[in-house]
Amino acid sequence: MYMSRPEARPAHVEVLVDGTPVLVPEGASAAAAVLMAGLPALRSTPITGAPRLPYCMMGVCFDCLAEINGVPNRQACMVTVEAGMRIAPQRGARAVEPR
């Protein structure tokens, strides 16, 4: 029987996914936290409103766009979780600030 050593287990951090606390292994991405939370969708498309969840997990598909700590249009798969991070779904298109 496999017995894991407590010191071998990864540390966890607590994040809020759509307001729900979720424990996530340290070093995981915000997209992984979303999948662990079991959300039905993280964003909807601007044109048809189709639901989307993280897909490629490597910064290619943009299906993981989310609001992270109040900042919209973040690729959740490219952001490492931090304790207390707030990850929220994003609906439709967001305004882009002019530079």
Task: Give the binding site for ligand FES (CB under 6 A).
Answer: 31, 54-57, 59-64, 75, 77
Q: How far is the CB of 29 from ligand FES (least distance, A)?
A: 8
Q: How far is the CB of 59 from ligand FES (least distance, A)?
A: 5
Q: Which of 78, 89, 95 is nearest to 39 (CA)?
A: 89
Query: Of 55 and 83, which CB lies nearer to ligand FES in the complex structure?
Result: 55
Cβ-based nearer residue to ligand FES, 22 or 31: 31
State in angstroms the smallest separation of the CB of 58 from ligand FES. 6
CB of 77 or CB of 85, closer to ligand FES: 77
- Considering only the C-alpha atoms of the chain, give the largest distance between any 2 of them, rounded to a whole number of Å: 59
Encoding tokens for residue 82? 């931090």
Whether the CB-CB separation of 62 and 43 falls below 8 Å is answered with no
Beta carbons of 48 and 24 less than 8 angstroms apart: no
